């Protein structure tokens, strides 16, 4: 499976408009329209924003032309992501001109990075709100309605929105994101996230388990525990014993607690930093059938020197040993990666080291990027962005081509195997076929035949064909 954008920063989803339909629209006196860009965390945050706005009498609409409030939840990870949002703001400018009372708000990482400057640069933006300030949205909207431009980009050391019940936007009713921690302390030199999303903080474990239980009761069968760096999840109850466990909760503990909600509730997580994923996490994954055998383990580069410049804190050999350990504990575990082509000073040989570590790790899929210098990051301050654009592009193409071959080879190894598949819905191409995923996160397509299965059901499927991105099978009768 090939993706040039990653799951946490999936540009293929950029610009989707989300609207909750579970609610009677006539019960709201105003309408908001929201578009989310970038990572899964942003999509999850939009569900929190929707919940806050609903409490203020705002109903969602899919049609921005009938909205009183247009919100863009933005991404700053690469320059291209910011350009996409700016283009979209220009489009909204036209609508705003013909509808003077309508407000436009920018949320998320671009809001945080550019702050009040965004109001000067994009004259028709009324509200700018950073990722930790969504609770202040109702107040800011109130002020903006009186004609003021409003900004709140305060970052917090505590905010986790633990008590806010997300409004599931455009959900398939089967899979949901559950945010477990926010922020990142890692300071990878290329990355703007620590500046836009602030310091790491973990959400109360009890509220996470309660949310997963509630999702199960509503019919959901898969949760993805989300955070910029889930393995550094750590929650200590203020009062010993107050949570019933009486001790601090690590990510391994949390995984176990969530897995115990119900054996039919699949558990996934994203994203892991290779330096932080512990043996205890791996053995917990191995112990529970419903914790999916799939790890997104971004390598970024296969060269120890480049990894050092990136401040990734592991070497090439250390990463390879981690892959070995994962495969020892879970031989059927799928791996995916994030890879950056053409980081500052990267030589041809170091690029080959990246290709080589990809083959070693046998990634099932990867999210692959050209290095994009971000203002204010360590790399922007310390190193020259000195790899010519055409060299970056050629290296990316080599990475993409190799990943294509690795994905195909991985799918070929699955021919003849039988997988437990969670049905998500009709396949895109054919309503006579189901689409689902196996534990390894591979998309599986198969004919419905005469069976009365429904989305949310598990079914055993034997694979007889494959493309680069999909396994094709038949319901197993045995
Ligand atoms: N340029 C290119 N890719 C980047 N990423 C993060 N920052 C940059 C950047 N400045 C990629 C990393 C990260 C993923 C979410 O985005 O691979 O893991
Ligand atoms: Fe960025 Fe590194 Fe944190 Fe990921 S771990 S969000 S790449 S600083």
**pLDDT tens digit string along 376-416?**
999 999 999 999 999 999 999 999 999 999 999 999 999 99
Q: CA dist 186 to 66, 182, 225, 235, 408, Å?
A: 42, 12, 19, 18, 33
Structural domains present in the chain: 30-152 (3.40.50.12160), 175-411 (3.80.30.20), 418-475 (2.40.50.140)
Residue closest via CA to ligand 1's atom 15 equals 9
Residue 101, classed as helix, strand or coil, is: coil
Quick check: 239 pLDDT over 60? Answer: no
Task: State both tokens at 394.
Answer: 């050629």
pLDDT digits (tens, 9 = 90+) for 85-143: 999 999 998 888 888 889 999 999 999 999 999 998 888 899 999 999 999 999 999 99
Q: Round to whole Å and give the CA distance between 365 and 7.
A: 11
Return the best residue to mutate from 4, 78, 196, 363 for the ligand 1 pocket (most ligand atoms within 8 A of CB).
78
24 pLDDT more than 70? no
- Whether 279 shows a pLDDT value over 80: the answer reads yes
Q: Report the C-alpha gap between 9 and 39 in whole angstroms.
A: 4
Tokens representing 301 are 């580069």
Q: Which of 188, 194, 377 to mutate to test the pocket of ligand 2 (most atoms within 8 A of CB)?
A: 188
**Which residues have C-beta within 8 Å of that of residue 375, sequence separation ≥ 6?**
113, 192
pLDDT at 23 > cutoff 60: no
Residue of the CA atom closest to atom 17 of ligand 1: 338
Ligand nearest to the backbone CA of 374: 1
| pLDDT at residue 243 is higher than 70 | no
Of 241 and 460, which is predicted with more confidence? 460
DSSP-assigned beta bridge partners for residue 419: 461
3 state DSSP class of 305: helix
Spell out the residues 6+ positions from residue 432 whose beta carbon is closer than 8 angstroms to its own.
447, 448
- Which atom of ligand 2 lies closest to the CA of 192? 1
Residue 333 counted as an annotated binding residue: no
Q: What percent of the chain has pLDDT over 70?
A: 92
On whether 191 is known to bind a ligand per the annotation, the reply is yes
CA distances from 474 to 412, 418, 471 (A): 16, 9, 10
pTM of the model: 0.93
Per-residue CA distances from 85 to 66, 92, 170, 371 (Å): 20, 11, 21, 19
Q: With contact defined as beta carbons under 8 Å apart, do 216 and 258 qualify?
A: no
The average pLDDT across 223-241 equals 85
Q: Is 39 annotated as a binding residue?
A: yes
Measured between alpha carbons, how far is 9 from 41 in angstroms, rounded to an integer? 9
Average pLDDT value for the chain: 92
For the ranges 21-30, 55-64, 84-93, the lowest mean pLDDT is seen at 21-30
Q: How far apart are CA 182 and CA 197, in angstroms?
A: 7
């Amino acid at each position: 499976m090939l993706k040039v954008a990653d799951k946490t920063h999936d540009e293929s989803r950029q610009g989707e408009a989300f609207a909750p339909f579970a609610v009677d629209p006539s019960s709201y006196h105003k309408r908001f329209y929201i578009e989310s860009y970038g990572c899964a965390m942003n999509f999850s945050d939009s569900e929190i924003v929707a919940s806050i706005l609903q409490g203020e009498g705002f109903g969602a609409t899919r049609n921005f032309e009938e909205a009183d409030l247009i919100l863009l939840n933005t991404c700053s990870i690469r320059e291209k992501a910011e350009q996409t949002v700016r283009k979209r703001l220009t489009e909204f400018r036209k609508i705003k001109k013909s509808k003077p009372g309508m407000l436009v708000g920018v949320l998320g990482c671009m809001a945080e990075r550019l702050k009040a400057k965004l109001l000067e640069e994009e004259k028709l933006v009324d509200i700018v709100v950073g990722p930790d300030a969504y609770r202040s949205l109702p107040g800011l909207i109130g002020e903006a309605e009186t004609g003021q431009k409003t900004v709140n980009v305060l970052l917090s050391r505590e905010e986790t929105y633990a008590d806010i019940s997300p409004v599931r936007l455009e959900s398939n009713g089967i899979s949901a994101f559950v945010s477990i921690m926010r922020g990142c302390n890692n300071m990878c030199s290329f990355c703007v996230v620590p500046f836009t999303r602030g310091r790491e903080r973990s959400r109360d474990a009890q509220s996470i388990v309660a949310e997963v239980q509630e999702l199960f009761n509503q019919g959901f069968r898969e949760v993805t525990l989300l955070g910029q760096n889930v393995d550094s999840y750590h929650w200590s109850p203020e009062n010993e014993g107050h949570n019933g466990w009486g001790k601090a909760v690590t990510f391994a503990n949390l995984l176990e607690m969530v897995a115990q909600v119900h054996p039919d509730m699949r558990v996934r997580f994203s994203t892991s930093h290779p330096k932080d994923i512990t043996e205890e996490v791996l053995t917990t994954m191995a112990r529970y059938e419903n914790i999916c055998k799939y790890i997104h383990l971004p390598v970024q580069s296969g060269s120890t020197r480049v990894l050092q410049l990136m401040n990734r804190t592991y070497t090439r050999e250390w990463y390879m040993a981690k892959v070995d350990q994962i495969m020892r504990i879970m031989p059927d575990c799928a791996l995916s990666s994030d890879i950056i082509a053409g980081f500052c000073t990267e030589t041809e040989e170091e690029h080959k080291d990246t290709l080589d570590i990809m083959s070693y790790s046998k990634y099932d899929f990867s999210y692959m990027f050209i290095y994009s210098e971000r203002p204010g990051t360590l790399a922007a301050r310390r190193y020259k962005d000195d790899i010519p654009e055409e060299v970056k592009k050629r290296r990316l193409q080599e990475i993409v081509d190799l990943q294509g071959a690795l994905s195909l080879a991985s799918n070929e190894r699955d021919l003849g195997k039988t997988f437990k598949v969670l049905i998500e819905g009709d396949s895109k191409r054919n309503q006579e076929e189901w689409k689902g995923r196996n534990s390894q996160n591979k998309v599986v397509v198969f004919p419905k035949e005469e069976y009365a299965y429904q989305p949310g059901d598990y079914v055993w499927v034997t694979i007889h064909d494959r493309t680069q991105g999909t396994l094709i099978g038949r319901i197993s009768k045995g």
